[in-house]
Amino acid sequence: MQNWGQGPSGEDLEKKVIDMTNRFKEKMQLDPKKSARPIILIVAVLVIIIGAYSSMYEVNTEETGVVLRFGKFATFSEPGLHFKVPFGIDQVYLVPTGRVLKEEFGFRSTESGGRPALSTRGMEEESLTLTGDLNVSDIQWIVQYQIRDPYKYVFKIHDPVGTIRDVSEAMVRRAVGNANVTEVLTTERVSLALEVEESLQETLDNYDIGVQIVTVRFQDVTPPDPVKGAFNEVNESEQQKESLILEARAQYNKEVPRARGEAQRSLQEAEGYAVERVNRARGETNRFLALLTEYKRAPEVTRQRIFIETMEQVLPQLDETYIMDDINGGALPLLPLRKVTEGAAR
């Protein structure tokens, strides 16, 4: 059973009281004439003080207290100040159930000059992992979890933290061992982390450890130092390939809709032009048929009217106009009144 921060108790003070009592007994044996009554009174006062002190304990806001009485589970304690039976009858284990705990693999978080830093020295046994195609990758990852059941976490298993670390390492090595090195280093990192998270939670549930996995995240996945340069070049090539594919897709999404729009516009213009031509031809046909009907009724009148209407359209477009007189046998020019009028208007 692992001690997760036993609350304020009188065990240490009890040891001191026992030591003091033994010293008083030794003094009594050396000088039996002295009365033992003051000593007994002092010891009784100390015992009362120690009992009163050890009967109180405090549970912080992010903790849950697990209370044992005579070594057996009694109850849980919520955050706040509580009382218990002193002299080791009640024991309290404080479990951080309100915090997200974290385990690091392949590195450790440290502080250097007051600033957070990462240390990887001596962590090669944790981080070096064999992939499915017999390549070695250097993987750093973290496991975040919360304590769901404080009693199970403390008493169901001897070393819960060590168990979580061992199972996490086994799940990561199994997932990486089923993938090739390219997938581990580039495209499949997120899916592998999700696979590890699911298998880790399933295994811990079978152990009934009372833990809920929050997330499994790969911090850094790199090849070993001797081949890191070659793998970095491969990784850069893969990234460039993905970038070119994305650019091509963006250009495709830009050009294809525009071409489709232009094609649709051309089709609509052609359809409109066809409708216009058909309607115009029908109008001309109807007009010709109406004119033919009138011509059949009165040929001379209709011919004269057509001639006059045609002259009304043609003559305004001529610069000079001449009238041919069959009787006099000559041409009779008309005054260019239109040019004179236009010149005056200018």
- Position 297 scores a pLDDT of 82
Q: How far apart are CA 17 and CA 11, in angstroms?
A: 10
Q: What percentage of the chain has pLDDT greater than the value 90?
A: 27
Output b/e per residue, 72-107; b: 16+ Cβ within 10 A.
eeeeebeeeebebebeeebbbbbbbbeeeeeebbbb
Computed over every residue of the chain, the mean pLDDT equals 79
DSSP strand E in 24-172: where? 56-59, 64-69, 72-77, 80-83, 90-95, 101-105, 108-112, 115-119, 128-130, 136-147
Identify which of 16, 25, 17 has the alpha carbon closest to the alpha carbon of residue 43. 17
Q: In angstroms, rounded to a whole number, what is the distance separating the alpha carbons of residues 224 and 17? A: 59
pLDDT at position 38, please? Answer: 65
10: pLDDT confidence band, cut at 50, 70 and 90?
very low
78 and 56 Cβ atoms separated by less than 8 Å: no
Mean pLDDT of 33-56: 65
Q: Does the structure show a pLDDT above 70 at 18?
A: no
Instruction: Kindly tell me the burial class for residue 7, based on how many C-beta atoms sit within 10 Å of its own C-beta (0-12, 13-18, 19 or more).
Output: buried
DSSP secondary structure of 290-302: HHHHHHHH-HHHH
114, pLDDT greater than 70: no
- Each as own residue / partner, the long-range contacts of residues 69-75 (CB below 8 Å, 24 or more positions apart, any chain) are 73/151, 73/155
Per-residue model confidence as pLDDT tens digits over 277-314: 999 999 989 888 888 888 788 888 888 888 888 888 87
What lies within 8 Å, CB to CB, of 135 at 6+ separation is 180, 181, 223
Domain 101-222 annotated CATH 3.30.479.30: yes
The 3-state DSSP class for residue 113 equals coil
Q: Which residues contact 247 (CB under 8 A, 6 or more apart)?
A: none
d(CA 152, CA 208): 7
pLDDT band at 117 (very low <50, low <70, confident <90, very high): confident
- For the entire predicted model, the pTM comes to 0.54
Q: Position 273: which residue type?
A: Y
Q: What is the pLDDT of residues 222-241, one digit of tens each?
A: 777 676 677 677 768 878 89
Is pLDDT of 262 > 80?
A: yes
Spatial neighbors of 118 by CB under 8 A, at least 6 apart, are 107, 108, 109, 110
Determine the pLDDT at residue 42. Answer: 67
Residue 244 has pLDDT above 60, yes or no: yes
**Domain positions in the chain:** 11-95, 101-222, 225-297, 308-345
CA 200 to CA 172: how far, in whole Å? 9
